[in-house]
Amino acid sequence: MVPRGYGHGGLRPMHGFPEIYGAGMLLLDQQARIVRVNREAEILLRMSAADLLDQDAHDLLHRDAHGHTMPRTSCSIRQAFLSGRAAQGPLGWYERGDGTLLPVCWLITPCRTAETRAGAVILFHECVPDETTDQDPAATEDRPLSELERLALLAETTTNLTSTLDVHEALRRLTRLVVPRLADWAVIDLINESDEVWRAHVVHYEDGTLVDREDLQGPMPPIPQESVMPLSWALRGAASTLAGPENYQGPPDAGIAVAQRQMFEATGMHSAAIAPIRGVREVLGALTLGRAERRAPFLDLSLLEDIARRTGLALENARLYQQQRRITETMQRHLLPQLPRVPGLEMAARYLAAPEASEVGGDWYDAFRLRDGAMAVAIGDVLGHDADAAAAMAQVRNVLRALAWSYQEPPSAIVARLDEAVLHVTGASLATLLFARIDAGDGGGCRLTVSNAGHPPPLLVTHDGQVRFLDSAVDPLIGAELASARQDITVELPPLSTLVLYTDGLVESRVGSLDEGLHRLGQHAAALARRPLDTFCDLLLRRVRPDDNDDDVALLAVRRPAATEAWHLDDEAAGARL
């Protein structure tokens, strides 16, 4: 009998392992990343296989009795894994997908499979703690941390905070490190770029889990220079201090003092330690650790200051990254053109930057009139995800415009000239490009001629919902230095049809195939064929873009008029509009 195991793409049996009902099973590779799980592990951990696979087992699961991330040097499971020996433990703690703790008894043993040259199997099952362990971790004796425990906590703080460039994720990790290990409450106040104070996080340990008190979060009153209250001192960069409800019982000296008094009343904290969060150049906020009546006051201000100092450096790095990213994204958006207005011809474009954790890329689109009155449309993607890619994108776009205006040639000839120019006069390396011209034919017709240099194929959607990918001719990428004659394809655009040009971020996914992405695009485009063009673009992005997308997306849609509408301009008018 083989156990039930799940992996990417569905059921994956774990051949060679006995079925053990009620016991979770994790197969680790040589880097201690989870490569297979069984169904019992999913049930016990309240996570799907997709959430477990390819994750570091220690970082994802291992916790101490307080729910904190366990230092690697203190983890007996990891030590056994590194030594390549079998080991077992009477009690450990795993974090479930819902944030609760699972007490486990575990066994780890080395193994080798066809997939893993060296690895291990962990078997675990739920273990009922005895009376010495079955208690609220926050209610245990508040003994001072040993020097080794202090160093381990500070090292773990540094590792967790510097491994992300997302401010909110860094603060979430911070609260998990200090609550309930050091306090029952963690309150983080931040000063934004406009010198406004915002209560960003208020977290409380309750019934074995962390509760995010959103009702206590939000904007705070300003910091008056004359205020002598503890939080005001910290937000002005003064030394850390102890505080309690008694500090705020008298007449308040500012609105922020009123907010602090309300916070003490709402949380029931009897004592708190407050430290400034400093960056290299300025104060970024304040960290407050509070304890409830059942615990002794937190007195280790030097430890709090060390944690706040590391928090400040991590937050400043994250803010600098976000600032640079916003500048680059703004530059990229300003480099993208305003679409021309053409009587009877509708156009709409969208640009979506990559997710917050990623950098901007070289995706772009363009539309402009040619000297002979035709309409030119283009979309492309320059290799790279940084400011250099955005700058190279602008160079490619401008060179293409100049060549298309100067030479009255088919799109394939213009793309061939661009390919040669990219190698000598731009900073771009490789780029995909789709360049097309739309001509108004005699009798109200509309003709599209396209040259494709390694780009995803354009999609043609008729008014009655029929779809067709124009993929009969795809030539090498721009800058690939491959000698080949470039081709054109020509099709007639039916009345009220929509031409959709897009970059690969719309259809590519880490878990699905490109064919699946293209099928999804065609399916939704057909369903939206009769929607107004702006609505068509918005809904198409929302429905088609993969959830795991980590790339920019550019989208350009062109809808031709009904047969009775004319949109062709004479040469003089076209030149005036350029």
- All structural domains of the chain, each given as residue ranges with its CATH number in brackets, are 5-135 (3.30.450.20), 147-324 (3.30.450.40), 336-577 (3.60.40.10)
Which of 129-133, 229-233, 485-489, 505-509 shows the lowest per-residue confidence on average (mean pLDDT)? 129-133
**Which position has the higher pLDDT, 372 or 388?**
372
Q: Provide mean pLDDT across the span 493-510.
A: 92
Q: How confident is the model at residue 328 (pLDDT cuts 50, 70, 90)?
A: low
Neighbouring CB atoms inside 10 A of 129's CB total 12
Pairing mode, if any, of strands 375-382 and 362-369? antiparallel
Prior bond to 180 cis, omega within 30?
yes
In tens, the pLDDT along 433-445 reads 999 999 987 667 7
Residue 248 DSSP symbol: G
Determine the pLDDT at residue 90: 64
Distance CA 106, CA 188 (A): 37
Determine the pLDDT at residue 576: 40
Is the pLDDT at 95 greater than 70? The verdict is yes
What would the DSSP string read from start to end of 294-312? TSPPP--HHHHHHHHHHHH
Q: Provide mean pLDDT across the span 91-102.
A: 88
Q: Across the chain, how many H-helices and E-strands are there?
A: 14, 25
Neighbouring CB atoms inside 10 A of 340's CB total 15
Distance CA 466, CA 86 (A): 61
Determine the pLDDT at residue 3: 30
Residue by residue, what is the 3-state secondary structure of 375-404?
Answer: EEEEEEEECCCCHHHHHHHHHHHHHHHHHH
Q: Give me the torsion for CA of 351, 454, 540, 545, rounded to 10°.
A: -80
Determine the pLDDT at residue 218: 92
pTM to 2 decimal places? 0.53
> What's the one-letter identity of residue 463?
H
Handedness of CA 403, 407, 408, 409 (dihedral sign): negative
Residue 77 DSSP symbol: H
In tens, the pLDDT along 447-469 reads 999 999 999 999 999 999 999 99
Distance CA 262, CA 310 (A): 29
Q: How confident is the model at residue 361 (pLDDT cuts 50, 70, 90)?
A: low
Q: Provide mean pLDDT across the span 487-507.
A: 94
Q: Please, what is the Cα angle at 464 between 459 and 469, to 5 degrees?
A: 15
Residue 290 and residue 185 in contact, taking contact as beta carbons nearer than 8 Å: yes
Residue 263 and residue 244 in contact, taking contact as beta carbons nearer than 8 Å: no
Q: Please, what is the Cα angle at 26 between 25 and 29, to 5 degrees?
A: 150
Distance CA 49, CA 504 (A): 28
Burial tier of 269 (Cβ tally within 10 Å: 0-12, 13-18, 19+) = buried
In tens, the pLDDT along 3-55 reads 333 233 333 334 334 444 568 889 998 888 999 999 899 999 999 999 999 99
Q: Provide mean pLDDT across the span 363-367.
A: 91
First to last CA, the chain: 73
Residue 56 DSSP symbol: B
In tens, the pLDDT along 516-561 reads 999 999 999 999 999 999 999 999 999 998 876 767 899 999 998 8
Residue 361 and residue 381 in contact, taking contact as beta carbons nearer than 8 Å: yes
What would the DSSP string read from start to end of 399-431? HHHHHHHH----HHHHHHHHHHHHHHH-S---E
Residue 438 and residue 447 in contact, taking contact as beta carbons nearer than 8 Å: yes
